[in-house]
């Protein structure tokens, strides 16, 4: 049923709108950056960072976890499509913090009769998990030398961003050291990009 609804919306104008939004855009992201975040349906990455189409690569998976496939995508993003910085955003109330890898494995194997070959990357604390992801990206041999990686935990109720530091100057033992808050009165509810010409209308 859901697939039919998506295709209905495509035909009802989504396809035309997407074509209009993409018109004239280059394949290289204009801000030369990539954002990795969770697939959580409440997070509007474009609204959150005031982005327009064509400005960044957005990578999403369950949890916003740095997996082998994320490294694959980031390497291509950097080496073939000229991005440099990486912003890693995980969040409070994430589905991946609601179970453990072992429990999920047991559940699945009981139902399916075999063990899954992949890990869920479930985590208890997004701060620890962001720090782990940042450390992995900073030491990855295939990303560009000098890649700037910054990591944050987004509070999905207040939409504050807490920056996470791996270690070193400016870092704190608890990781979360600097909080960013959205303005209390955004110019337009739900979307505070200043690029009026590229705001979307609902399909």
Interface residue list for Zn ion (CB under 5 A): 38, 40, 94
Nearest distance from C-beta of residue 91 to Zn ion, angstroms? 6
Nearest distance from C-beta of residue 123 to Zn ion, angstroms? 10
**CB-based contact 87:59 (threshold 8 Å):** no
Q: Which residue is nearest to Zn ion (CB)?
A: 38
Nearest distance from C-beta of residue 153 to Zn ion, angstroms? 11
Neighbouring residues of 171: CB distance < 8 A, sequence distance ≥ 6: 165, 177
Please say which residue, 40 or 55, places its beta carbon nearer to Zn ion.
Answer: 40
Please say which residue, 130 or 137, places its beta carbon nearer to Zn ion.
Answer: 130
Please say which residue, 52 or 70, places its beta carbon nearer to Zn ion.
Answer: 70
Nearest distance from C-beta of residue 166 to Zn ion, angstroms? 21
Nearest distance from C-beta of residue 130 to Zn ion, angstroms? 12
Please say which residue, 46 or 143, places its beta carbon nearer to Zn ion.
Answer: 46
Please say which residue, 38 or 67, places its beta carbon nearer to Zn ion.
Answer: 38
């Amino acid at each position: 049923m859901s697939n039919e609804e998506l295709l209905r919306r495509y035909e009802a104008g989504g396809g035309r709108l997407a074509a209009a939004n993409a018109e004239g855009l280059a394949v290289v992201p204009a801000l030369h950056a990539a954002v990795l975040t969770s697939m959580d349906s409440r997070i509007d990455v474009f609204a959150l960072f005031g982005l327009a189409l064509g400005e960044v690569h957005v990578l999403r998976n369950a949890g916003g976890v740095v997996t082998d496939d994320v490294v694959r995508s980031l390497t291509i993003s950097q080496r073939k499509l000229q991005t440099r910085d990486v912003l890693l955003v995980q969040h409070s109330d994430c589905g991946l913090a609601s179970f453990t890898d072992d429990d999920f494995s047991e559940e699945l194997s009981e139902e399916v009769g075999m063990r899954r070959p992949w890990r869920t990357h479930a985590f208890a604390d997004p701060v620890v998990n962001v720090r782990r992801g940042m450390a992995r990206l900073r030491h990855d041999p295939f990303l560009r030398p000098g890649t700037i990686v910054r990591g944050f935990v987004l509070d999905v109720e207040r939409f504050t961003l807490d920056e996470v530091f791996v270690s070193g100057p400016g870092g704190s033992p608890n990781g979360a050291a600097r909080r960013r808050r959205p303005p209390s009165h955004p110019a337009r509810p739900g979307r505070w990009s200043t690029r009026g010409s590229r705001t979307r209308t609902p399909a």
